[in-house]
Amino acid sequence: MDSAIIAETLEQEYPEPSLRLDTKLHEAVAPIIGKASFPLIPVFIPRIGRDIIPPSASEHFYSTREKRFGMPLDELERQKGGAKAWEAAKPGLDELTAFLNEHKLDEGPFVLGSKVCYADFLIACMIESLRRIGPDLYDKFVEHHGELRALHEACKPWMENDH
């Protein structure tokens, strides 16, 4: 949740390789990530409840989400999930792919091409979250957007030590 603060500290303490915070691309991409992911909340939040939350925390998870969404999660999924949610996410996915392509300085999978920046990690984290919820969600998210798959794959070395 404090990744921006952590990124600034890392940049100060370990300036090489740079996270390229000076580009402000991370600030520009954040709302685009929202456009691609927020429509999918009715798809992935119910899955988190079913597949990830331990039984000891499920009552709290379900009751707080029911209050937040004004309906039980199974109803949220039924009413607003599925194909409707994916269709609503498509413009955001297209915008995210365009963002990846418009800032490249050279060939490469990252926002800037061959050099990684903090914006790459924001995008990769969203994609990795979906992969961990369900590989089918990951596949659908990157299905028509090969650039997103390539960026996620290129960021894997930074995800290897996640415990």
Q: Which 8-state DSSP code applies to residue 161?
A: T
Res 163 pLDDT > 60: no
Whole-model pTM: value is: 0.89
Average pLDDT over residues 44-51: 96
Kindly state whether residue 62 falls inside one of the protein's structural domains.
no
Containing structural domain, residue 105: 3-40+81-159
Q: Are 110 and 151 spatial neighbours (Cβ–Cβ below 8 Å)?
A: yes
Q: Quickly count: other Cβ atoms within 10 Å of residue 120's Cβ.
A: 25
Half-sphere exposure of 115 (CA within 13 A, CB side): 14
Give bridge partners of residue 96 from the DSSP assignment: none
Kindly state whether residue 102 falls inside one of the protein's structural domains.
yes
Q: What does the pLDDT read at residue 2? A: 66
Q: What does the pLDDT read at residue 106? A: 93
What domain count does the chain have?
1
Euclidean distance between CA atoms 35 and 98, whole angstroms: 13
Kindly state whether residue 58 falls inside one of the protein's structural domains.
no
Average pLDDT over residues 101-125: 94
Q: Which CATH number characterizes residue 86's domain?
A: 1.20.1050
Res 162 pLDDT > 70: no
Instruction: Copy the structure tokens of residue 62.
Output: 């379900």
| Digit-coded pLDDT (tens) for 137-155 | 999 999 988 999 999 999 9
Kindly state whether residue 115 falls inside one of the protein's structural domains.
yes
Q: What does the pLDDT read at residue 23? A: 87
Position 74, amino acid: D
Kindly state whether residue 67 falls inside one of the protein's structural domains.
no
Kindly state whether residue 63 falls inside one of the protein's structural domains.
no
Kindly state whether residue 64 falls inside one of the protein's structural domains.
no
| Digit-coded pLDDT (tens) for 48-101 | 999 999 999 999 999 999 999 999 999 999 999 999 999 999 999 999 999 999
Q: Are 92 and 32 spatial neighbours (Cβ–Cβ below 8 Å)?
A: yes
Kindly state whether residue 59 falls inside one of the protein's structural domains.
no
Buried b (16+ CB within 10 A) or exposed e, 66-97: eeebeeebeebbeebbeeebbebbeebbebbb
Instruction: Copy the structure tokens of residue 116.
Output: 């990684």
